[in-house]
């Protein structure tokens, strides 16, 4: 029941080609992302000062990152004063070892988990399994993915690539106590998950969470969610271990107010999340009495040193950029080979991993640079700018595949330049393609071997048998 690691995943072009062949996946993704986009647009349009909020959020994050060391020290002081313990982890190995040791100290061999991108990033579930500790995901979508032995494919909706019939089949095959005759009605599926998870909540002694935000002035941690599973994990167990990226820090409660307006609207298309849990250290007799916060770097300070790439650390994991991305909508999240898919993942993954995986060099190229992601980002990360910046790094650094890709692109562009620099040459090309159009109907890019790397994921319309110039010449009289 542990998610497989992301290390050693196929290169993006190969992985994307396999995903494109899955018509059911493409239907699932289109249906889900279209619905989320519509909900987001409706609630965003209710606010007169949406752009003002975006600007304010970007400024807060930029200023915080500029003095991150000071805010982290302040946060540690406040957390410690409130009775919790702070642990610092330079990388995934240290973070996983710290969490495993903290669980061992309790004498328990099972933990319940709140949905957390940070723990996916470091492969915590696999590390705990290696230490003889079983981690049970309690978010509904994460539960679906875990039961199926699958990997998440979306930051907000990890099982977005599954439809409800597939989910029913997963429950029947892998869920303990799944009711006989379970239907694929959403209410029935939710009830089956609720009954299954309730036993975990009531018996768990240790919980692991992430955090959406961490407030330096008070030491408070914030988790927003829609199902109530987070609230159960954060209040019932005796021990709570929160794994938090160092970029999650906000200076004050006033700053948090801005993000609490932006995050729900950008992620779930809601004015506010049904459950917002905020806790600071230990409260005697109420909630977990053994509280730990593991602050992880894992490449974040390296990203901070990149003048253009550092803006990705403003990300609040809302997933709005995924929902508008034409590439993501067609290939899904698995093709990115990382816990972070979509446009933001194409930036974050190479920044955090430093192109350590061969597949990282492909990710900045997995974009049309249409700019839709920048338009919807609530913290105004200029994703196209960062992608172009990382493309240059991939090529100049000589990372596997980048130089070859560049040479191929230059050859195609040179041919296009020759054809378009001369009216005669352009007419000749148009005549040849028009002749071909008499015999070739609509096709897919995969059937055009010369251009398959460019258009392999696109549907190619029928080639016109007559160019506009020829039509105009024939009809202008």
pLDDT tens digits, 194-204? 999 999 999 99
Rounded to whole angstroms, how far apart are CA atoms 186 and 188?
Answer: 5
**pTM recorded for the entire structure:** 0.85
- Convert the pLDDT of each residue in 8-35 to its tens digit: 667 888 888 888 888 898 899 999 999 9
Rounded to whole angstroms, how far apart are CA atoms 124 and 418?
Answer: 53
Q: Which residues have C-beta within 8 Å of that of residue 428, sequence separation ≥ 6?
A: none
Position 5 pLDDT exceeds 60 = no
Order across the sheet with 134-137: list the strands.
85-89, 290-296, 239-245, 206-209, 110-113, 134-137
Strand-pair category, 275-279 with 459-460? unpaired
Exposure pattern of 435-445 as b/e (b: 16+ CB <10 Å)?
Answer: eeeeeeeeeeb
Q: Which of 206, 171, 154, 118 lies closest to 341 in space, CA to CA?
A: 154
Rg (the chain; Cα; Å):
25
Q: How confident is the model at residue 418 (pLDDT cuts 50, 70, 90)?
A: confident
Q: How confident is the model at residue 1 (pLDDT cuts 50, 70, 90)?
A: very low
Position 60 pLDDT exceeds 90 = yes
SS3 239: strand
Beta bridge partners, 224, equal: 276
Position 130 pLDDT exceeds 50 = yes
Question: What CA–CA distances, in Å, run from 470 to 418, 434, 474, 476?
Answer: 21, 10, 6, 10
Q: Give the pLDDT confidence score for residue 402 in this predicted structure.
A: 46
Cβ(114)–Cβ(233) below 8 Å = yes
Rounded to whole angstroms, how far apart are CA atoms 98 and 120?
Answer: 16
Rounded to whole angstroms, how far apart are CA atoms 79 and 214?
Answer: 10
Q: How confident is the model at residue 85 (pLDDT cuts 50, 70, 90)?
A: very high
CA atoms within 13 A on the CB side of 121: 26
């Amino acid at each position: 029941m542990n998610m497989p690691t992301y290390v050693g995943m196929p290169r993006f072009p190969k992985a994307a080609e396999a995903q494109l062949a899955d018509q059911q996946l493409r239907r699932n993704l289109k249906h889900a992302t279209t619905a989320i986009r519509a909900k987001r647009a409706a609630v965003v349009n209710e606010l007169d000062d949406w752009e003002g909020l975006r600007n304010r959020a970007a400024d807060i994050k930029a200023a915080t990152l500029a003095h991150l060391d000071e805010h982290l020290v302040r946060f540690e002081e406040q957390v410690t004063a409130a009775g919790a313990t702070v642990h610092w982890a330079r990388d995934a190995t240290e973070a996983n070892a710290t969490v495993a040791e903290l669980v061992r100290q309790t004498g328990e061999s099972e933990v319940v988990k709140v949905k957390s991108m940070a723990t996916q990033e470091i492969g915590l579930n696999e590390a705990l399994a290696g230490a003889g500790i079983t981690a049970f995901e309690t978010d509904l979508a994460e539960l679906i993915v875990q039961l199926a032995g699958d990997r998440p494919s979306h930051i907000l909706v990890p099982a977005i690539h599954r439809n409800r019939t597939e989910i029913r089949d997963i429950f029947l095959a892998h869920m303990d106590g799944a009711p006989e005759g379970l239907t694929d009605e959403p209410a029935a599926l939710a009830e089956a998950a609720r009954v299954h998870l309730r036993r975990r909540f009531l018996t768990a002694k240790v919980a692991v969470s992430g955090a959406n935000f961490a407030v330096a002035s008070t030491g408070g941690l914030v988790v927003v969610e829609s199902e109530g599973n987070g609230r159960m994990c954060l209040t019932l167990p005796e021990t709570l271990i929160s794994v938090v990226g160092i970029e999650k820090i906000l200076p004050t409660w006033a700053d948090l107010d801005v993000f609490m307006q932006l995050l729900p609207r950008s992620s779930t298309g809601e004015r506010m999340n049904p459950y917002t849990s905020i806790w600071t250290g230990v409260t005697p007799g109420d909630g977990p009495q053994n509280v730990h916060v593991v602050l992880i770097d894992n490449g974040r300070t390296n990203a901070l040193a990149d003048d253009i790439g550092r803006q990705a650390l403003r990300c609040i994991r809302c997933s709005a950029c995924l929902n508008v991305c034409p590439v993501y909508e067609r290939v899904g999240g698995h093709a990115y080979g990382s816990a972070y898919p979509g446009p933001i993942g194409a930036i974050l993954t190479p920044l955090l991993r430093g192109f350590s995986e061969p597949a990282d060099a492909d990710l900045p190229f997995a974009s049309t640079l249409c700019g839709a992601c920048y338009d919807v980002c609530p913290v105004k990360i200029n994703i196209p700018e960062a992608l172009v910046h990382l493309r240059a790094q991939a090529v100049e650094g000589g990372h596997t595949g980048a130089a070859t890709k560049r040479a191929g692109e230059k050859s195609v562009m040179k041919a296009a330049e020759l054809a378009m620099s001369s009216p005669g040459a352009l007419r000749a090309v148009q005549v040849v393609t028009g002749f071909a159009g008499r015999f070739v109907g609509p096709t897919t890019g995969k059937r055009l071997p010369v251009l398959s790397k460019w258009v392999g994921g696109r549907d190619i319309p029928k080639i016109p048998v007559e160019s506009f110039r020829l039509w105009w010449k024939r009809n202008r009289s």
